[in-house]
């Protein structure tokens, strides 16, 4: 992360951020700090940077040109237009979601005002974000910039040691930290809570979570309003969708819940969601549509519950799947505020979607999750605009020819039990073609490798046409 601070007091920035963790981070090169003196860009022979305000009134105004030239020097140096944050009590309140969002940038420019402010015209020209660190007025933007740099740097990889980073996401779920204790066990008659001495890590974790919730309710009830329970409900016969759903859920909450819709018994259970839930509904794309599973999301019931639809596909296309999912979930009481189409390994080719979602995808997931978090915190449930036909003609899927080798089969019945649509007769081992969705889960789960399929034809077609890497698409 490279910080560039446009200021009249560069030494204040350098000194303020030169010691402790941020000093160390600068030495190790994890962050760089460039304090640019706006005065160096004055055109005035006395190096003046301020003047009287047009229309009269008290105080002086920082002139546009020196600020602009200082900014241009940074832009030239880094070779692209960066995000430029103007520190002002008129800006959006700085919070943890903004911290994490800004931490994803490579360069950040902070513009610090003094006197009565900066000529509006240069702000209009260069500023991308107006940020306030609290509802009070400071003498200048420098302290605010330093506060932001400190908080953002904690999210730059390698800035915190592993010990420090273990506790680093206490605010991610809009919860306050639990209380901490150290030796002695009894201090002036006050004992450490019993549970912490028990050595039972599960119990300790549960107690800490309880304390966090109780504390947040008592001390910061406003944060409770921003809290959402994240549940990912996924249909994932070969586990690609599951992995993508888990990655996204992990970006949205430290403690997500899961509903495994791949299992018939789980699909039959009714689950109700409220307005402080967030549902991630995830399914793979089969032939450009939702798999033909009767009532896939039917027992999930929302009450104006925000929802993200995820259509995971093997690098060909998701076509109508997102729109189809959104239609179904909207009928079930959800508001689809977002959609995402990640790439996962293709079931018919080991060359398509291999290793996806990967590190690059993870970054896109994170950016998307941060936008969703912001929307939830703002209670902005505007439905997402999702591409595709919400009611496409059902496409009959032929699927690749499947084989069962009776000499290998041990009749363990795993395939029949795990078939997501109950298409395998546990006695005869026959597959009912009218029910089969060609998900190939049977071949994947068979411990004796008695089940297989021949995807050579479709594989050749896919690899001939869809090898170019597709990128994750997100919709809000
Ligand atoms: N400059 C002056 N007051 C400020 C505040 N509260 N936040 C950010 N920048 C400021």
177 lies in the same domain as 107: no
Q: What is the CATH number of the domain that holds 137?
A: 3.40.1280.10
Q: What is the CATH number of the domain that holds 185?
A: 1.10.1270.20
**Based on the structure, what is the number of domains in the chain?**
4
* Residue 462 within any structural domain of the chain: no
Angle at the Cα of 15 (from 12 to 19), degrees rounded to 5?
150
Judge if the beta carbon of residue 136 lies within 6 A of ligand 1: yes
pLDDT of 398 reads 79
* Residue 352 within any structural domain of the chain: yes
246 lies in the same domain as 374: yes
- Closest atom of ligand 1 to 134 CA is 6
14 lies in the same domain as 123: yes
CB 426 within 8 A of CB 466: no
Q: Which residues are paired to 89 by β-bridges?
A: none
50 lies in the same domain as 136: yes
Mutate to test the pocket of ligand 1, among 5, 84, 89 (most ligand atoms within 8 A of CB): 89
Contact residues for 206 (Cβ-Cβ < 8 A; gap 6+): none
Query: Which tokens belong to 245?
Result: 């759903």
* Residue 464 within any structural domain of the chain: no
* Residue 463 within any structural domain of the chain: no
Q: What is the CATH number of the domain that holds 432?
A: 3.30.70.20
Residues in the chain predicted with pLDDT less than 50, given as ranges, are 166-168
Dump pLDDT digits (tens) for 356-384: 999 999 999 999 999 999 999 999 999 99
CA–centroid distance, residue 142 to ligand 1 (Å): 9
Judge if the beta carbon of residue 138 lies within 6 A of ligand 1: yes
CB 93 within 8 A of CB 134: yes
pTM, two decimals, is 0.93
Judge if the beta carbon of residue 321 lies within 6 A of ligand 1: no
Q: What is the CATH number of the domain that holds 372?
A: 3.40.50.360
- Closest atom of ligand 1 to 137 CA is 3
Domain span at residue 442?
402-454
CB 282 within 8 A of CB 234: yes
* Residue 49 within any structural domain of the chain: yes
Q: If you take atom 6 of ligand 1, which residue's CA is the nearest one? A: 89
Judge if the beta carbon of residue 63 lies within 6 A of ligand 1: no
* Residue 461 within any structural domain of the chain: no
**CA 368, CA 144: separation in Å to the nearest integer?**
27
Reduced to 3 states (helix: H, G, I; strand: E, B; else coil), residue 474 is strand
Give the β-pairing of 402-404 and 451-453.
Answer: antiparallel
pLDDT of 169 reads 62
């Amino acid at each position: 992360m490279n910080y560039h601070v446009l200021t009249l007091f560069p030494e204040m920035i350098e000194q303020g951020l030169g010691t402790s963790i941020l000093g160390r981070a600068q030495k190790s090169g994890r962050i760089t700090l460039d304090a640019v003196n706006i005065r160096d860009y004055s055109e005035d022979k006395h190096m003046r940077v301020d003047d009287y305000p047009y229309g009269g009134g008290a105080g002086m105004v920082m002139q546009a040109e020196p600020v602009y030239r200082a900014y241009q020097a940074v832009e030239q140096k880094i070779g692209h237009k960066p995000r430029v944050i103007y520190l002002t009590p008129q800006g959006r309140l700085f919070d943890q979601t903004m911290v994490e969002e800004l931490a994803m940038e490579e360069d950040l420019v902070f513009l610090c005002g003094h006197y009565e402010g900066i000529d509006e015209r240069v702000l209009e020209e260069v500023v991308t974000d107006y940020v306030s660190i609290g509802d009070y007025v400071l003498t200048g933007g420098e302290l605010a910039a330093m506060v932001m740099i400190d908080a953002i740097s904690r999210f730059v990889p390698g800035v915190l040691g592993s010990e420090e980073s273990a506790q680093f996401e206490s605010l991610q779920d809009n919860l306050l930290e639990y209380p901490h204790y150290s030796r002695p066990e009894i201090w002036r008659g006050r004992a450490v809570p019993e549970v912490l001495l028990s050595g039972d890590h599960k119990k300790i974790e549960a107690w800490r979570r309880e304390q966090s919730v109780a504390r947040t309710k008592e001390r910061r009830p406003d944060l409770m309003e921003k809290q959402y329970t994240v549940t990912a409900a996924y249909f994932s016969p070969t586990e690609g969708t599951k992995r993508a759903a888990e990655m996204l859920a992990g970006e949205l909450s430290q403690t997500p819940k899961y509903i495994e819709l791949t299992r018939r018994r789980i699909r039959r259970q009714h689950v109700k969601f409220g307005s402080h839930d967030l549902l991630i509904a995830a399914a793979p794309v089969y032939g450009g549509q939702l798999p033909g599973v009767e009532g896939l999301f039917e027992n999930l019931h929302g009450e104006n519950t925000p929802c993200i639809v995820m259509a995971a596909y093997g690098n060909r296309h998701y076509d109508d799947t997102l729109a189809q999912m959104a239609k179904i979930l909207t009928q079930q009481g959800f508001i689809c505020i977002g959609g995402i189409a990640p790439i996962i390994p293709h079931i018919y080719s080991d060359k398509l979607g291999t290793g996806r979602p990967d590190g690059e995808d993870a970054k896109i997931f994170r950016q998307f999750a941060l936008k969703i978090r912001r929307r939830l915190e703002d209670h902005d449930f505007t439905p997402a605009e999702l591409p595709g036909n919400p009611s496409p003609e059902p496409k009959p899927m032929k699927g690749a020819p499947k084989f069962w080798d009776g000499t290998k089969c041990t009749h363990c019945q795993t395939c029949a039990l795990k078939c997501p649509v109950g298409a395998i007769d546990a006695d005869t081992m026959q597959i009912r073609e009218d029910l089969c969705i060609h998900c190939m889960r049977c071949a994947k789960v068979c411990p004796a490798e008695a089940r297989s399929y021949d995807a050579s034809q479709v594989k050749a077609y896919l690899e001939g046409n869809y090898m170019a890497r597709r990128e994750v698409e997100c919709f809000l």
